[in-house]
A and B are shown apart, each in its own frame.
Chain A
Amino acid sequence: GAGVSQSPSNKVTEKGKDVELRCDPISGHTALYWYRQSLGQGLEFLIYFQGNSAPDKSGLPSDRFSAERTGGSVSTLTIQRTQQEDSAVYLCASSPPGTRLNEQFFGPGTRLTVL
Chain B
Amino acid sequence: GDSVTQMEGPVTLSEEAFLTINCTYTATGYPSLFWYVQYPGEGLQLLLKATKADDKGSNKGFEATYRKETTSFHLEKGSVQVSDSAVYFCALLATDSWGKLQFGAGTQVVVTP
Contact = CB atoms under 8 A, between A and B. Distances in A.
Contacts of A3: 43
Interface residues of B, number: 20
B32 interface: yes
Given A100-B93, A101-B49, A33 B103 contact: no
A88 interface: no
B98 A50 contact: yes
B45 interface: yes
Interface in B17-40: 32
A93 B101 CA distance: 11
A36 B76 CA distance: 27
A16 B44 CA distance: 30
Given A42-B105, A101-B32, A91 B100 contact: no
Tell me if B's interface is mostly helix, strand, loop or mixed: loop
Given A106-B44, A107-B43, A56 B98 contact: yes
Contact of B89 (A43, A44, A45): A43
Interface residues of A, number: 27
B99 interface: yes
B51 interface: yes
Contacts of A62: none
Given A48-B98, A48-B100, A56-B100, A104 B106 contact: no
- Which 9 pairs from chain A and chain B are nearest by CB? A43-B103, A106-B44, A106-B43, A103-B46, A100-B98, A42-B105, A45-B100, A48-B99, A108-B43
Interface of A: 3-4, 31, 33, 35, 42-45, 48, 50, 55-56, 58-59, 91, 93, 95, 100-101, 103-109
